[in-house]
């Protein structure tokens, strides 16, 4: 049997997820890491941190109706200089108190990642920019 929720619930769930990034004493942030994403969001982070990118507060705008579903879009175009060189394989997002909120796949534009960055091949001290990040909530699963 398929679980279905009304659009208002999808919007509320999407907003609740992205609002977790704004919790804590400082702004949320993203770690772009080398290697393979862990199987679970509670698993210890793997790979090397290539760059840590601070987010705006609030990190996302309000979720909008996708008919069906909901989508929240990252505010701004966050960037930071890389602390290490390597190939970006995945991201983990944290709130301002360093609690993990979400992780996922990264790619360049059109590559299918939940988050898109300007270049997966990262050089030390190079500027790395998040070019797109949307968080979606489905109405059925």
DSSP 3-state assignment of 67? coil
Domain boundaries, the chain: 26-56+72-134
Segment 16-60, tens digit of pLDDT: 999 999 999 999 999 999 999 999 998 999 999 999 999 999 999
Q: What does the mean pLDDT of the chain come to?
A: 95
| b/e map 95-112, b = 16+ CB within 10 Å | bbeeebbbbeebebeeee
Q: What is residue 130's predicted lDDT score, i.e. its pLDDT?
A: 98
Q: What is residue 22's predicted lDDT score, i.e. its pLDDT?
A: 96
Q: What is residue 2's predicted lDDT score, i.e. its pLDDT?
A: 82
Residue 71 CA from chain centroid, whole number: 13
For residue 1, pLDDT over 80 is answered with no
Question: Taken in order 24, 27, 97, 107, is the CA torsion positive or negative?
Answer: positive
For residue 87, pLDDT over 70 is answered with yes
């Amino acid at each position: 049997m398929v679980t279905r929720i009304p659009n208002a619930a999808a919007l509320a769930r999407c907003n609740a997820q992205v609002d977790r990034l704004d919790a804590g004493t400082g702004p949320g942030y993203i770690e772009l890491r080398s290697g393979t994403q862990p199987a679970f969001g509670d698993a210890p982070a793997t790979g090397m941190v290539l760059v840590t990118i601070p987010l705006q507060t609030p990190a996302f705008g309000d979720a909008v109706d996708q008919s069906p579903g909901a989508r929240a879009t990252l505010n701004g175009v966050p960037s930071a200089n890389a602390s290490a060189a390597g190939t970006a394989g995945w991201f983990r997002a944290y709130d301002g108190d360093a609690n993990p909120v979400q992780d996922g796949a990264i790619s360049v534009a059109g590559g299918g990642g939940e988050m898109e960055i300007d270049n997966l091949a990262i050089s030390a001290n190079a500027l790395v920019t998040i070019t797109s990040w949307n968080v979606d909530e489905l109405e059925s699963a």
